[in-house]
Amino acid sequence: MLHTSIADDYSCPEGWSRFQDTCFFFSKSRASWHSASYVCAELGGTLAHLNTKEKSDFLEGRALNGAYVGCVHDRNVRFLDGQFHYSDKMTNTFCAEKCRQSSYTYSGTQCFCGNVSWEKFQSYGLSPEDECRLPCHGNRQEWCGGHWRSSVYITGGRKHWVGGTDMIEEGKWAWFPGNVPVTYTDWQPTEPDNKLHATLEKEHCMALSPSLHGFYKWSDEICSELLYFVCERVAVRSLG
What does residue 124 show for φ and ψ, rounded to 5 degrees?
-85, -45
Between helix 53-65 and helix 92-101 the angle, nearest 10°, is 40
In angstroms, the CA 26 to CA 38 distance is: 15
Half-sphere exposure of 158 (CA within 13 A, CB side): 26
Half-sphere exposure of 9 (CA within 13 A, CB side): 4
Check pLDDT > 90 for residue 15. no
Of 188, 189, 194, 132, which is closest to residue 169 (Cα–Cα)?
194
CB 74 within 8 A of CB 131: no
CB 176 within 8 A of CB 163: yes
Secondary structure of residue 213 in the 3-state scheme: coil
Fold of 2-63+158-237: Mannose-Binding Protein A; Chain A (3.10.100)
Q: What pLDDT is attached to residue 237?
A: 77
pLDDT grade for 6, boundaries at 50, 70 and 90? very low
Q: Regarding predicted confidence, which is higher, 131 or 6?
A: 131
Of 27, 16, 17, which is closest to residue 160 (Cα–Cα)?
27
In angstroms, the CA 53 to CA 31 distance is: 26
Q: What pLDDT is attached to residue 1?
A: 32
Q: What pLDDT is attached to residue 130?
A: 87
Task: Please name the residue ranges forming H helices in 107-173.
Answer: 118-124
Q: Regarding predicted confidence, which is higher, 182 or 85?
A: 182
In the chain, where the domains are located: 2-63+158-237, 68-154
Check pLDDT > 60 for residue 7. no
Query: Virtual CA dihedral for 128, 132, 133, 137, nearest 10 degrees?
Result: -170
Mean pLDDT over 74-103 rounds to 86
Mention every residue, 6+ apart, whose C-beta is less than 8 A from residue 165: 33, 173, 174, 176, 204, 205, 206, 223
Give the predicted TM-score (pTM) of the model. Answer: 0.63
Share of the chain above pLDDT 70, in %: 90
Give pLDDT tens digits for 189-202: 889 988 887 778 88
Give pLDDT tens digits for 179-225: 999 999 999 888 998 888 777 888 999 998 876 444 678 999 999 99
Give pLDDT tens digits for 151-175: 888 776 678 999 999 999 999 999 9
In angstroms, the CA 107 to CA 206 distance is: 27
- Across the strands, what pairs with 12? 3
In angstroms, the CA 138 to CA 159 distance is: 25
In angstroms, the CA 176 to CA 198 distance is: 26
Q: Which of 90-99, 129-138, 147-156, 203-212 is modeled with the greatest confidence? A: 129-138
